[in-house]
Chains A and B, each alone.
Chain A
Amino acid sequence: MKMTKYNRSAEPKTPALFAAASRPVFGRVFECGSAGLLRAATYFVLCCGLVVLGDIALKGGRTVFQAQWPFVNVSFLTQAPESLHVFEYAGETHEMGDAQFRAFRANALRGAGRAAEPSSPNISGEQGSAVPAIRSQSYVYAAGGIWPCIVGTVLLVSGAMGIALSLGIGAAIFLSEYAKEGRFLRLVRLCILNLAGVPSIVFGLFGFGLFVNFFGWNVSLLAGWCTLAVMVLPVVITAAEEALKAVPSGLREGSLALGATQWQTIRRAVLPCALPGILTSSILGIARVAGETAPIMFTAAYVVRDKLPWEVERLGDFFFQGVMALPYHIYVVSTKIPQNAYTARVQYGTAFVFLAVVGLLALGSILLRGRLKKTYTW
């Protein structure tokens, strides 16, 4: 009976049932419009990313690369920052780094037959008319390179990630393998969640108060490592715990059923399988640790330091020295010195190298992860 009723009413309309015209116009427009909006939003994001990266690559590339062999500006990558001296001499404009300028000036003086007072302090400026005066305009940090900053950033990142990974994986193993669900575990998770929400400048202040002042480590690598490690711990713990939880429980049971203790099971069956996942999270951690300026500006970073980190007298001093770092260098060059035509070059060059360093560090762990994944996939 139902059939007949349906047939009677539907039969005339059947041909048009699936035709596009049967849908209301507004519906179709809305559908297309919303899809178009989402598409536009995605393209906008893409454009933003490309513009930022392109800008840095374009401007920074000019500093880092050059037209002649060896195509890379070696001195920018391998020297310490210097002041740039711009001066006119014998009718030509010269641009020189500090060391080069001193040598040039000494030469010029000797040429003028006045080598008797090579170390005269006011030779560059208001000299008597007897000497050929070299009036130079000097720009801080505009010459030389950023090698100490690269070294400092790599040291900061590797040390901080070392501390964060060992602490974080330890805590994650405890949380996922040993701890029983309960009030304590909820408290721990709440703490981790809160830690993740703390702004990085607060971590900087915390590190300054605890490590630098209270422990008396001064502005040092160690203080920076600890501050950065505390900052990135929540990321590492959460991700490591997820990775451990993702290891199928069958592997744990299989191992235990063979007479393995719980630690043996974790060490030999669970952890190897979780490592790729943990490394993925550490890639995010690396980017965060390398990128943050706030936590290190009170704890580890020097504006300028002429010694490289390994030029220490005793091994112990290594941990208690401040370092230069790429993000802090960008900050200093952009805000702490008078801006001029020469600083932009350093800023963008540093930013470019900074991105490259972070990229290389991340690439390292991606490759490592790939190798582990090949062996330990279930």
Chain B
Amino acid sequence: MTTGTSATRAALPLADKLKPKRVTPTAIEVDQLDFAYGAKQALFDVNLELPARRVTAFIGPSGCGKTTLLRCFNRMNDLVPEARLTRGAIRIHSADIHAPEVDPTLLRKRVGMVFQKSNPFPKSIYDNVAYGLRIQRGRRSRVQLDEAVERALRAAALWDEVRDRLHDSGLALSGGQQQRLCIARALAVEPDILLMDEPCAALDPIATAKIEELIAELKRRYTIVIVTHSMQQAARCSDKTCFFYMGRLVESGDTQQVFSKPANPQTAAYISGHFG
């Protein structure tokens, strides 16, 4: 671990070669999507295109379906009994993710997720980050794991804070650090899309600022979709903003445009704080 830097540099090309990624300019394409939990329809006719290597923010009042849509992207909704896609399709880099031959576990390796409530495993920091690699097929040497863990922790801007205590429990970290640990854990699997479900909802402003800086840094390599209740956060760190209301996509467009000249009066009312 201490000889990390030189070893990392040597191993990077190899790691890059191991990434069989098909990247199209449009990362996620949502096509006429209807989605229902049992009899209760949650999403109505959503059409959306999310650009690759950009940050897209989903905003809207609680229960508007933004988290539901986010959890469709990595099929976490499969876990909810009776939740199903009733119409339409979602394509990630032009591959239909609900096609019968798709293995959700492989999908989730390419589409990482960070949850509202940070949920590190009750294991060491190291084991938390290595978790996603250890569950994959094929044996990795200790050195490879060490490198991957360091790379992920560096990418999540956590390395300098935890390098001396990698084998302490992940739960000993502060709230903001735990959330960055969860980001590092997701990045270790080397996804190309990162879904963030209100990642700062439980954090103080300083920790929030750190996560936002991190998002700005990560968008150079990852497509990021972030659900947020904070209008300022959406305005600060996203390139594209989508406003949802009552299960419908009301407006989507350039963040600057949505916030300065919203086309829809509902959007205007929401972002100016008149409801929601």
Contact = CB atoms under 8 A, between A and B. Distances in A.
B122 A258 contact: no
B219 interface: no
B76 A258 contact: no
A154 interface: no
A250 B117 contact: yes
Contacts of B107: 259
B113 to A, nearest CB: 4
B94 interface: no
6 contacts: A258-B135, A258-B186, A258-B189, A260-B132, A269-B131, A377-B171
- Which among A260, A261, A375, A376 has the highest number of chain B CB atoms within 10 Å? A260
B108 interface: yes
A371 interface: no
A260 B108 CA distance: 8
B20 interface: no
Interface of B: 74, 76, 79, 81, 105-109, 112-113, 115, 117, 119-123, 131-132, 134-136, 169, 171, 182, 185-186, 189
Interface in A264-290: 264, 268-269, 272-273
B73 to A, nearest CB: 11
A308 interface: no
A72 to B, nearest CB: 42
Contacts of A180: 81
A256 B182 CA distance: 13
Given A259-B132, A259-B189, A254 B115 contact: yes
Given A377-B171, A378-B171, A258 B119 contact: no
B117 A378 contact: no
Contact of A253 (B119, B120, B169, B171): B119
Contact of A254 (B74, B119, B134): B119
A289 to B, nearest CB: 30
B106 A256 contact: no
B115 A258 contact: no
B119 A248 contact: yes
Contacts of B123: 272, 375-376
Interface residues of A, number: 22
**Chain A: interface secondary structure?**
helix
B190 to A, nearest CB: 11
Given A253-B76, A254-B182, A259 B108 contact: yes
Nearest to A373: B122
User: Which of B135, B185, B186: most chain A Cβ within 10 A?
Assistant: B135
A255 interface: yes
A77 interface: no
Contacts of A254: 115, 119-121, 182, 185
A273 B121 CA distance: 9
B113 A259 contact: no
A377 B122 contact: yes
Contacts of B120: 254
B135 A259 contact: yes
A256 B135 CA distance: 11
Contact of A268 (B105, B112, B131, B136): B131
Contact of B122 (A253, A260, A375): A375
Contacts of B185: 254, 258
Contacts of B76: 253, 256-257
B108 A257 contact: yes
Given A257-B186, A259-B189, A251 B119 contact: yes
B178 to A, nearest CB: 11
A40 to B, nearest CB: 44
Given A258-B112, A258-B186, A259-B106, A269 B171 contact: no
Contact of B131 (A253, A258, A273, A376): A258
B131 A259 contact: no
A257 B109 CA distance: 8
The 7 closest A-B pairs by CB, nearest first: A250-B119, A259-B109, A258-B132, A257-B113, A254-B119, A259-B108, A376-B122
B105 A259 contact: yes
A260 B105 CA distance: 6
